[in-house]
Structure 1
Amino acid sequence: MSRARDQAAQAGHAVIDPLLDELTPGAARGRLVRLRARAWLIVQVAAGATAAWWVAHGLLDHPLPFFAPITAMICLGLTYGDRVRRIVELTIGVAIGILTGDLLVHAFGTGLWQIFAVAVVAMALAVLLGAGQLLMMQAGIQGVMLTVLVAGDGEALSRWLDAVVGGGVALLIAMLAPVRSTTQRPRERAIAIVGHLAEVLTETTQALRNRDHGRASTALRTARELSRELESLRATTAEASAAARLAPLLSGEHRDDVREIQGILGPLDLAIRNVRVLARRAEAAVEDEEFVPDTYIDMVAGLAEAAATVQEQLERQGPLSATREDLVNLARRSTWSHPRAGLSAEVMRAQVRSTVVDLLVLSGMQLSEARRRLPATREEFDPSSPDDAPPTSPQPG
């Protein structure tokens, strides 16, 4: 009995403790922050529903245009990148569902099997027309609604017009009153990613200096998470770009800001990939107790400083070209290899060189110019290089 009571108590704690956590001041503050972030969107959605009802009921004289506000709310709740396509899908889906339901109800009446038949036929037709999941579901929902409610003569067309009204109102609001935070979010996420990139390089530097395997492993885990962060940044930037195109009232400054972040996505992706390889080889070097020259560790530290400068310039919205001089100096330092450096150390040197090119391109430099600024390695032009020196890594790029 005692064991059963203990298990029951543990189960109770498992249910109650998360609820109590939600009542803490910290959780309440977090919910308020989320509310403030979404307040403008909430106002837009509510205004869209109200305006759609007014247009359909007051101007078109539809007695119960319930689908007009529903369509407006669904469309305004979508991301900017999907709004136009989804609005069209919703309208077509409603038309298919209403047509199917109207025909079957007038031919066979209403009932259980009619609901099943209308749902199947409407969704099947939508799929045959190349519909996505949203269009398919809307076709089925509207067909079932018409079957259950039994629309009167002429109501099917009015319901389709209600969908058009709702979608049109949503599109108009999206164009005239965009969520400005949508265009600001890409820069915020880019700043965070570059900051994490600098953090990985700093942690890797300290791991190499102190021969700290745990620190090297932590840096590698963080480096691997950067790819997921970058994918989120790509989605956010695409949404912001669509908002900038749809919203004529957005200032040119907002559009330029989005374009700048779009321009750094490619080189930032390459820099993240190269730093991930660098962090992996650093962990291997520490684990295998491989000799890593201090000059190589200094290169990684220099790369961390360059990434931190990029982050600072993004925060200040300053010119990214401010990092070029430090990067070119780092490129010159990377030309000299150490005769005792092992495989992992040489791979790290090569990744530093590749990342330098990526960051130069990120700063706005042409790729050909960035490669030209990366001097040839010593072994490639100095015939006095020792014969037993390790082979040079391929030229990056």
Structure 2
Amino acid sequence: MARVRKRVGDNLWPVLQQAVAAALSWWIADDLIDHHVPLFAPIATLVALNTPLGGRGTNTVRVLVGVISGVVVGQLAFDLLGHGAVTVGAAVLCALLVALVLDGERITMAQAAVGAVICVAAGRQAGSDRVLDALIGGAVALVFSQLLFPVRPLALLRKAESTTLSGLADALGLTAREMDAGDDERTFRTWDEVRAVYALLDDLGRARTDSAAVAGRTLHRRGGREHLTRETVTALHLDLLGNSCFTLVRRALALDTRHRQEFAPVLRALSGALDALAAAPGSRAVRRHATRRVLDAVRNAPDAGPAPTVTVGESVRLVARDVLVFAGVDDDTAERAVHEGAVEVPVPDPPQQHRILPARRRRP
């Protein structure tokens, strides 16, 4: 239920935007334009906006490109071959090939194929109506995504960071519970849950790309782009943190029962630190708190014993080091801190999103 509430809370605002935008598209196509049932206008708006924040503008353009190319191909096929299954197959094939040449994205190909089918099935007028609906729906989607509710690039990246950190915290927490269990109580389902974090890391990579694209298309001041660049470099360390967490989970679960239970509190402490960091990754106070917690976990980790125990201890230090680097600590300082048992390290102020202000005119 906690995951459901978080999922609904994270997506409620974009969903409300889609509902209002769809209603507006229908109203424009139905009342302001002499048009028959405006079925495809709200559909085009929904398809365009039903993508992660940061990619809605690009998604809208892809919908329009797909619809227009599909309608053109479908009308040509209808004029040459008329109705029939062969015409539908030929139109869809040609539309998909055109979409591959123009863009190659799945949504572009799907819209092109649908537009071609509609033209062959319903004739020329249906194709023209489809294009008009797509233009209305796309225009509404662009107004919502680019003018009324533009995305703040740094906030977009921070949200992906938070989700990834929360997923890593859950993975370590599940591993700690598995390590606390006896041999007859283990479920051996930890890896099923941990594998979901790979998808979060992929989403983080897309968020880095989308935030950079949004910043490049928006009138930001130079300082704002520099802050985004700094945070993008920082976010790259989450890939390393994810790999070090996976290595720690694998090695920790391979320990015998006694040593697993010795390391369980350490993984639980690391999980708590990542969970705290996920709450506000852009806060310096939160970053300082998280670095203290991971350094505490390192000092409390067993550092002697058989070779597997020593290896797990080294993995704990690697996770702690990656957390420190993500928090803004330089590599050398982080390396010394985890090996020398430091209590605290200096954490710099994280980049902050600048307000978008109009450029001042220079006086002559």
TM-score range, shorter chain: 0.5 to 0.7
Matched, 1:349 2:322: no
Q: Which residue of 1 aligns with 2:165?
A: 190
Q: Which residue of 1 aligns with 2:357?
A: none
More displaced stretch, 365-374 vs 77-86: 77-86
Q: Distance in 1 between matches of 2:9 and 2:271?
A: 32
Matched, 1:319 2:286: yes
Alignment of 1:121-136 (within 5 A): 121-136=94-109
Alignment of 1:1-397 (within 5 A): 40-56=13-29, 61=34, 65-152=38-125, 159-175=130-146, 176-177=148-149, 187=162, 190-191=165-166, 193-201=168-176, 203-204=178-179, 206=180, 212-214=182-184, 217-218=186-187, 221-222=189-190, 225-232=193-200, 234-235=202-203, 238=206, 242=210, 245=214, 262=235, 265-282=238-255, 285-286=256-257, 301-302=265-266, 304-315=268-279, 318-325=285-292, 327-328=294-295, 331=298, 337=304, 341-375=305-339
Residue by residue over 1:159-188, the C-alpha shift from the partner in whole angstroms, topping out at 9 and shown as x without a partner, is: 434323311211221342479998767636
Given that residues 197 and 223 in structure 1 are in contact (C-alpha distance below 8 angstroms), is that contact kept between their aligned partners in structure 2?
no
Question: Which entry has the higher C-alpha Rg, 1 or 2?
Answer: 1
Q: Distance in 1 between matches of 2:313 and 2:164?
A: 28
Q: Which residue of 2 aligns with 1:14?
A: none
Q: Distance in 1 between matches of 2:5 and 2:266?
A: 41
Q: Distance in 1 between matches of 2:141 and 2:324?
A: 42
SS of 1:79's equivalent? Answer: coil
Q: Distance in 2 between matches of 1:39 and 1:97?
A: 33
Given that residues 40 and 179 in structure 1 are in contact (C-alpha distance below 8 angstroms), is that contact kept between their aligned partners in structure 2?
no
CA drift of 1:121 comes to 2.8
Q: Which residue of 2 aligns with 1:395?
A: none
CA drift of 1:84 comes to 3.1
SS of 2:254's equivalent? Answer: helix
Q: Distance in 1 between matches of 2:97 and 2:33?
A: 32
TM-score, normalised via structure 2 length: 0.67
Given that residues 110 and 148 in structure 1 are in contact (C-alpha distance below 8 angstroms), is that contact kept between their aligned partners in structure 2?
yes
CA drift of 1:71 comes to 0.8
Q: Distance in 1 between matches of 2:7 and 2:287?
A: 32
Residue by residue over 1:290-321, the C-alpha shift from the partner in whole angstroms, topping out at 9 and shown as x without a partner, is: xx5xxx97666345324424423544764222
Q: 1:228 to 1:94 in 2, by over 3 A?
A: same
CA drift of 1:269 comes to 0.5
Q: 1:344 to 1:185 in 2, by over 3 A?
A: closer
Given that residues 303 and 310 in structure 2 are in contact (C-alpha distance below 8 angstroms), is that contact kept between their aligned partners in structure 1?
no
SS of 1:311's equivalent? Answer: helix
CA drift of 1:90 comes to 1.8
Q: 1:105 to 1:330 in 2, by over 3 A?
A: closer
Q: 1:68 to 1:372 in 2, by over 3 A?
A: same
Given that residues 75 and 87 in structure 1 are in contact (C-alpha distance below 8 angstroms), is that contact kept between their aligned partners in structure 2?
yes
Given that residues 310 and 320 in structure 1 are in contact (C-alpha distance below 8 angstroms), is that contact kept between their aligned partners in structure 2?
no
Amino acid at match of 1:363: A
Given that residues 40 and 133 in structure 2 are in contact (C-alpha distance below 8 angstroms), is that contact kept between their aligned partners in structure 1?
yes
SS of 1:319's equivalent? Answer: helix
Q: Distance in 2 between matches of 1:40 and 1:332?
A: 43
CA drift of 1:72 comes to 0.8
SS of 1:110's equivalent? Answer: coil
Q: Distance in 1 between matches of 2:287 and 2:7?
A: 32
Q: Distance in 2 between matches of 1:143 and 1:275?
A: 52
Q: 1:165 to 1:229 in 2, by over 3 A?
A: same
Q: Distance in 2 between matches of 1:51 and 1:347?
A: 60
Amino acid at match of 2:139: G
Q: Distance in 2 between matches of 1:301 and 1:277?
A: 16
More displaced stretch, 229-238 vs 97-106: 229-238
Q: 1:352 to 1:147 in 2, by over 3 A?
A: closer
Amino acid at match of 2:306: G
Gaps (5+ residues) in structure 1?
1-25, 378-397
More displaced stretch, 43-52 vs 56-65: 56-65
Given that residues 114 and 147 in structure 1 are in contact (C-alpha distance below 8 angstroms), is that contact kept between their aligned partners in structure 2?
yes
Q: Percent of aligned positions with the same letter in both sequences?
A: 22
CA drift of 1:141 comes to 1.7
Given that residues 29 and 38 in structure 2 are in contact (C-alpha distance below 8 angstroms), is that contact kept between their aligned partners in structure 1?
yes
Given that residues 96 and 113 in structure 2 are in contact (C-alpha distance below 8 angstroms), is that contact kept between their aligned partners in structure 1?
yes
SS of 1:98's equivalent? Answer: helix
Gaps (5+ residues) in structure 2?
219-223, 342-364
